[in-house]
Amino acid sequence: MRRAGDRRRIASRPIGVPRVGARIAALGWAVGAAMIPSCAGDGSPDLRDEAAGRVFLIGIDGVTWDLLDPLLEAERLPNLASLIAEGCRAPLASMVPTKSPALWTTVATGKEFDSHGINDFTQVVRENGPPNARVMHMTSNMRRTKALWNILGDVGLRSAFIGWWVTWPAEQVEGYMVSSHVPLAQTGGKAAPTKGTLVQDLEGQTWPPELFEELRPLIRPDESVTFQEARRFMDLRPEELGKNIVEGFRWAFAADETYRAVTLHLLEKDSDPDLWGIYFNGNDVVGHRYWKYIEPEVYPPFPPEELPRFCNLIDRYYEYTDGLIGEILERRQPGDTFLLISDHGFHAFGHRDGPAGVIIASGRHVEPGAVPRDARLVDVAPTVLALLGIPAAEDMDGRVLDELFTEEWRQRYPRERIETYDSENWREQSPIPSGVDGEILERLRTLGYLE
């Protein structure tokens, strides 16, 4: 059982920790297991134990209240329903353009695209002039500012981030990083939306590095998805399993199954990290791939016999995702807090604008029935820090959604911000080649993300 103040460390610590810790201490906040205001001498109790619970930040790409609400009303999402009943819910304003690398980096940093530097899937890299230009996928070293996993390490707390966008190569953190590698070395189905996953033979996918061999048996390649697994979601014939209409589903489901297994493995191995960031991509993929069966009238015609066979796939994937959440909830501890978010909503041609996503909050410091005001993606990181008792930074573009909190925690979390968590050596860099960039670019062009 974890105790307040009992945190296991890895030996290394990012550059700049003493300076960051000194800035926080100067504001009167204690650096340790929980960043709680020092109350010595003012007659107030020491509140370190109050922030001892873990925070789970669960990202589900492309989820929309337009589909969640009917499924909740039909009692088909029991785990999400329980979180909402215990806590609160609201729309979460997205940003334009709705490009996953940019949006999920905003969630992790609390900063706008221009501040964190990840504003697209790719970047043109020019080597010795325009004739030698090449397009490369965004990589973690291109981020211009620290993310939640860096900040927690700076203040002596631990995190476990699993499957998050733009985390390859995995950074050195206090805890665990299981990256999402994009591009994917996939075969066929280039019209399918592309998300990341673990792959079998690539360096830099985990921190610590030796963790990868431990996780290797958990990787699900897309070809491992069986007919029985796929048939749970659609009216499928055996000979169609390898067809393009199913291929996009198979690799998205395989990626979610991979990160599901990794999450449960790490929770069993070491349940102690203070912050868990877990990302699932499949809802967005099946939304792009199969939304035409929900609104056929606004899409180009397709064979009419496909409609009854695939029209329930997205709803069934929402039910599957609810099951993923349920497996995490089965491992909750007293004091845990859950923030479940999506980066944007969805409707026909939803990747071309910015419909609102969702936010669901539940846990120790969350007021049941609270009404968040105009919640935005940039507000997530400051709110996560506040739930952990850590001050936000002045250079973050978001605010703390303190209307989510109980009255007690609203009065006690660190309200005064420090100037920044960044250090002089944190700078924009060039993307790192992966060897399979050509295929990802072809996929992105097919989808219309690139000209």
Rounded alpha-carbon distances, angstroms, from residue 339 to 39, 112, 218: 28, 20, 26
- Does residue 128 sit within a domain? no
DSSP assignment, residue 30?
A: P
For residue 371, the model assigns a pLDDT of: 93
Contact (CB, 8 A) for 327 and 93 = no
Question: CA angle 445-448-451, nearest 5°?
Answer: 60
Contact (CB, 8 A) for 316 and 67 = no
DSSP assignment, residue 139?
A: -
The whole-number mean pLDDT for each consecutive block of 10 residues of the chain, a chain of 451 residues, reads 34 40 58 40 42 89 96 98 98 90 96 87 57 61 93 96 94 95 46 66 92 96 93 94 87 94 98 97 91 91 93 97 98 96 80 80 96 96 97 97 96 94 72 56 53 55
Closest C-alpha to 195, from 106, 263, 255 = 255
Distance CA 441, CA 232 (A): 31
Distance CA 57, CA 338 (A): 6
Contact (CB, 8 A) for 118 and 104 = no
CATH code (residue 153):
3.40.720.10
- Does residue 227 sit within a domain? yes
Contact (CB, 8 A) for 169 and 420 = no
- Does residue 451 sit within a domain? no
- Does residue 7 sit within a domain? no
User: Omega before 431 cis (within 30°)?
Assistant: no
Query: Side chain identity at 312, as an amino acid letter?
Result: N
For residue 147, the model assigns a pLDDT of: 97
187-221: b (≥16 Cβ within 10 Å) or e: eebbebbbbbbbbeebebbbbbeebbeebeebbbb
What residues does 197 pair with on adjacent strands? 181
- Does residue 182 sit within a domain? yes
For residue 288, the model assigns a pLDDT of: 87
Distance CA 5, CA 53 (A): 11
| First-residue to last-residue Cα distance in the chain | 53
Instruction: Tell me how many domains the chain contains.
Output: 1
For residue 286, the model assigns a pLDDT of: 92
- Does residue 231 sit within a domain? yes
Distance CA 257, CA 219 (A): 8
Packing angle of the helix pair 282-290, 244-269 (nearest 10 deg): 170
* pTM metric for this prediction: 0.86
Give the DSSP letter string of 213-264: HHHGGG---GGG--HHHHHTTS---GGGTTSHHHHHHHHHHHHHHHHHHHHH
Contact (CB, 8 A) for 262 and 217 = no
* Alpha-carbon radius of gyration of the chain: 22
- Does residue 236 sit within a domain? yes
3-state secondary structure 172-218: CCCEEEECCECCCCCCCCCCCCCCCECCCCCCCCEECCCHHHHHHHH
Domain boundaries, position 319: 17-118+139-436
Question: CA angle 343-345-347, nearest 5°?
Answer: 145
- Does residue 450 sit within a domain? no
